[in-house]
Chain A
């Protein structure tokens, strides 16, 4: 499987990336870890006359932790898994990253690629919506911020303009419990259904809750109404059932080789119940 020919660029600063994107327009694409783009190029489902490799741009790397967390777009899943400070301030990132693909791919796969690609199967977009993360994009006019919950329009269609690059994701450190629960057919597969949940408690009452689902629509689904079903409750079996029912109303899965719609709804209900239970135990 040999892709169509392309010119390769490896710029060392963001301005050069943006100039290349402006110069070549639709003919140019950036490549991060490449594990979504390269298979498409090999199958000739994507033809990219100008490939812009982001590996040498320092401004896209680095993890800053504290009450506000910032993760550079070129940070790999392996970097996340091995960052002890991030593992304590936002452990859901590690929990989710360990469920992405396989070890070799986690050395290459990046946060920026995962969130910017717009593939409904990617795990980070739902996670970022759960965290209410902000994406930092850089284009010809400089940087701008977009909320993860506003970023996804449809499969592979996002708020990012063609001449913009994903620079970093930022979000607040997690207070309380968390869980990322993913049902997949085998190691390396995208989710049949996955749920990201964070919850905090006040005594025995749920104070805050946030729920987002992966691969159950053509975008990740932030379930505000389902989250509200838990807030102010003692998270009883009945409360969890209400949250799950509300989530089922919000998703819109399509039949594919992972199963028919009814099965996906069933899997979604199972992963969300488990995620809520686990997050609540940890809260």
Chain B
């Protein structure tokens, strides 16, 4: 066993500090130390995207990052997106448009989609498909996921217009 190191993370606006072995994967630290079990563990090889979180403004797969690499970082996980009583626009759109069946991939889908819409607020369907290519879904065939993200984009854009 190697030396434990002191890790600092800011997750969903909250500061956390704990001792961990550097080899611990970020997704395990989030799930098991911080009890944020919304980020899932799927393929564990960086392919499926169910562990996607936002780290310092980037969508990353938290199964392919050591907690030591994330030391000092600012993160958003699915728990930081909405609550059951007050869903995020993307969560509402996924519900409305049947963007999920089993739901296992959904936290990763929402996290990646949120970042995608930040970068491309008014995407084409093709841009959505390309921007979501790092997230796999074995239920929906993607059709309704794309529909949900397109709907969330227009919702967010009309809210922006109304605010102006």
- A residues in contact with B130, CB < 8 Å: 103
**Is A140 interfacial (CB-CB < 8 Å)?**
no
Q: Is A6 in contact with B22, judged by CB distance below 8 angstroms?
A: yes
Question: B5 — nearest CB in chain A belongs to which residue?
Answer: A8
Chain A residues touching B, range: 20 to 34
**Is A237 interfacial (CB-CB < 8 Å)?**
no
Instruction: Give 1 or 0 for each of A1-43: 1 = CB within 8 Å of chain B CB.
Output: 1111111101000000000000000000001001100110110
| Whole-angstrom distance between the Cβ of B62 and the nearest chain A Cβ | 10
Question: A103 — nearest CB in chain B belongs to which residue?
Answer: B134
- A residues in contact with B58, CB < 8 Å: 78, 104, 107-108
Instruction: Give 1 or 0 for each of A44-88: 1 = CB within 8 Å of chain B CB.
Output: 000000010101000000000000000000000010000000000
Q: Is A107 in contact with B59, judged by CB distance below 8 angstroms?
A: yes
Instruction: Give 1 or 0 for each of A210-229: 1 = CB within 8 Å of chain B CB.
Output: 00000000000000000000
- A residues in contact with B131, CB < 8 Å: 103
Q: Is B60 in contact with A104, judged by CB distance below 8 angstroms?
A: yes
Q: Is A103 in contact with B2, judged by CB distance below 8 angstroms?
A: no
- A residues in contact with B49, CB < 8 Å: 102, 104
**Is A250 interfacial (CB-CB < 8 Å)?**
no
Question: How many residues does chain B have at the interface if contact means C-beta atoms less than 8 Å apart?
Answer: 31
**Is A259 interfacial (CB-CB < 8 Å)?**
no
Q: Is A39 in contact with B66, judged by CB distance below 8 angstroms?
A: no
| Whole-angstrom distance between the Cβ of A72 and the nearest chain B Cβ | 17
8 Å CB interface, B74-124 against A: 112, 116
Q: Give bound CA distance, A57 to B17, whole Å.
A: 24
Q: Is A35 in contact with B23, judged by CB distance below 8 angstroms?
A: no
- B residues in contact with A102, CB < 8 Å: 49, 133-134
Q: Give bound CA distance, A108 to B59, whole Å.
A: 9
**Is A231 interfacial (CB-CB < 8 Å)?**
no
**Is A260 interfacial (CB-CB < 8 Å)?**
no
**Is A105 interfacial (CB-CB < 8 Å)?**
yes
8 Å CB interface, B29-64 against A: 44-47, 49, 52, 58-61, 64
Q: Which residues of A contact B (CB under 8 A)?
A: 1-8, 10, 31, 34-35, 38-39, 41-42, 51, 53, 55, 78, 101-105, 107-108, 187-188
Q: Which residues of B contact A (CB under 8 A)?
A: 1-3, 5, 21-23, 25, 44-47, 49, 52, 58-61, 64-66, 68-69, 71, 112, 116, 130-134
